[in-house]
Structure 1
Amino acid sequence: MDAQTKVFRTHRALAWFYALIGIGMTAVIGLATGAYVELLPMLLALLALFALHFFTARACKQGKNGGRQASIVISCLMLLGFPIGTLIGIYLLSNTWHSWEAAA
């Protein structure tokens, strides 16, 4: 499997992970307490993370250089999320470090 596909699949999985976290928070906390307004800032943050990973995944699938650059920035930020984010960040960096055109 080439590096583009690996990065695409990782971003796509992260996007849906954030979507599931938002749905789960709404279902568990919102239905239990009825505090939907208090959940709004967290849901908006999760929506932003979903959109970031979703559109980066789409750019990576199309082989755009902007997708590769966005993946590098995202992976550098994920390095701060010890330990799981660090592992994902290292994986993304290892697949985006070299130009995709040279690898193809």
Structure 2
Amino acid sequence: MSRRHLEGFMVHNIALEYKELKNFAAARAVFKANVTLFPDNPQAHHSYAKALAENKQSQRAIAQYQLAAQLAKQQSSQLLTQYRADFADYKTRPKP
């Protein structure tokens, strides 16, 4: 495991901690920082998409879901199926 991978994992966990503490604005900010710091990480984009979706930012969420799936496909990630399923589920939900 590379240092870069570990750093991305640590930033992701900070965002999850904020989310657990119900500080959703801070969680979104850290998820956004994660995609900025690690733009090739599909998990970072997937998590940011979910945070945006929870905040009713549909267009931005869709873009992040699509990017997560695209990166996962390029990297032959085992999580590609999950990312696609989450995106498909999101697309079927009613939007405000």
Instruction: Return the TM-score normalized by structure 2.
Output: 0.40
Higher share of residues assigned helix: 1
Higher alpha-carbon Rg? 1
Instruction: Return the TM-score normalized by structure 1.
Output: 0.38
